[in-house]
Every structure is written in C-alpha cells, then in structure tokens.
A and B are shown apart, each in its own frame.
Chain A
C-alpha cells in the first residue's frame, strides 16, 4: 500500500529536549516536505526536499532542521523545542506524475 508514515503520532515533550519526527514514504517519490498546521493559519511549509541531499527552506524554517540522506526518509529535527512549536505536523511526498501529494497521518506535538 502506498503510504507516508510519520512517527510518533503524538508527542509531549519539555522545552529544550531535542526530538526527531520521522517520515518515510514507500513510493520512491523524489519530492518530500514538512508542514505545520496551526489554528487560523492553515498549513505552512517548514522545509522541502527535491532529491537526496537537496533541501530548502519553506515559509517557517526557524527552529527546525531536516536531512535527506535516503530517498525514502525525511526526518524533522527540533534541536531545542519551544512552546511555540506546539503544532500539528504533516509530512508529504509526491512526484510530477502523481495526481496528488501524499500526506502522512500527522504528528501532534506539544512542548511544555
């Protein structure tokens, strides 16, 4: 089954404790990206990657890091999480030949 898998689905952490949200896709897509969703703001892009070892900032990259060492994986790293990073995070992947961008199930992160 074609899918984008994010882990964990839910996470509560404390300020300053480094964390990683994993994202993996099994469709051999070139393009992957991360979004955060906040009430009243819709989804905003954090980072995206158009190929292995190629990453670019989206609209709200501050406080986040990513890496694309393999085509299938695109982890989101919060080196020192802060409460304003409490949000719902989505990973997505796609290719030009697809009809849609495929989204993971979302990760709800709370930073206290």
Chain B
C-alpha cells in the first residue's frame, strides 16, 4: 500500500526566510507520480508540480524548488525568500502509474504561516 508522510504539521517563519517542507513516501510500484498542492485559506487546491519516478532532476520555478531523491523516498519542497502570500496548507501526494490519477494518496499536510 502506498503512503505519504508529512512529518511537519505546522511551520512558522518570518517573511524572507527560506523554508523546506518535507515529504516522504512509500510505494511498491516502480512507476509513480509525486505531486505538491497548495491550499490557501480560501480552500481550493492549487496544483504546484508533478514529478514522475524516472525523473530525479530537481526543479526550480521562481522562488519554489523541489528536491526528489529516490534513494531516500523523499520529495521535499523549498520556498526561498518566503512571503506572506505563501501562507497556506501544502499537501504532498502520490499516484501509482496504473491509476491515471484516479487515486491520489495525500499526506496530512503542512500548514505554513509566514508572518511579516
């Protein structure tokens, strides 16, 4: 069975600090997809990134970067120079290849609070 663990329940930082959100996953499949979603206070789920299991390249998108390491089954998310607008709950999720995203296993989420 697949599992996603986000050990950090809540993180508080001051604006402009860098922050890393941890995600550890378990799966028996060799082909799978990892996701990060953002849930702002308004409640909707905002897609941030998808990474497939064969692509271990790190990715950077503006202030956001992701570090995927199969050796440690981790897919960590770093926000550089955090801003108040980054305050949200962030979810890491896993989908096995044959599900076509019909089944996403989510972590419990990390609430990020960025204060001015």
Question: Taking beta carbons and an 8 Å cutoff, which residues of B are in contact with A?
Answer: 6, 9, 35, 37, 43-45, 47, 50, 91, 93, 95, 99-109
Contacts and interface: CB of A to CB of B under 8 A. Distances in A.
Interface in A1-59: 30-33, 35, 40-45, 48-50, 58
A98 B6 CA distance: 25
B97 to A, nearest CB: 8
B102 A33 contact: yes
B104 A92 contact: yes
A30 to B, nearest CB: 7
Contact of A48 (B93, B102, B107): B102
Interface of A: 30-33, 35, 40-45, 48-50, 58, 88, 90, 92, 94-96, 98-101, 103, 105-106, 108
**At the interface, is chain B mostly helix, strand, loop or mixed?**
loop
Nearest to A97: B100
A38 to B, nearest CB: 10
A30 B109 contact: no
Given A43-B106, A100-B35, A50 B100 contact: yes
A27 to B, nearest CB: 12
A99 B26 CA distance: 21
B100 A100 contact: no
B49 to A, nearest CB: 9
A103 B43 contact: no
B48 to A, nearest CB: 9
A64 B95 CA distance: 23
Contacts of A45: 103-105
A6 to B, nearest CB: 11
A31 B102 contact: yes
A106 B103 CA distance: 17
A42 B107 contact: yes
B108 A94 contact: no
A68 B48 CA distance: 29
A42 B6 CA distance: 10
Contacts of B101: 31, 92, 94-96, 98, 100-101
A32 B45 contact: no
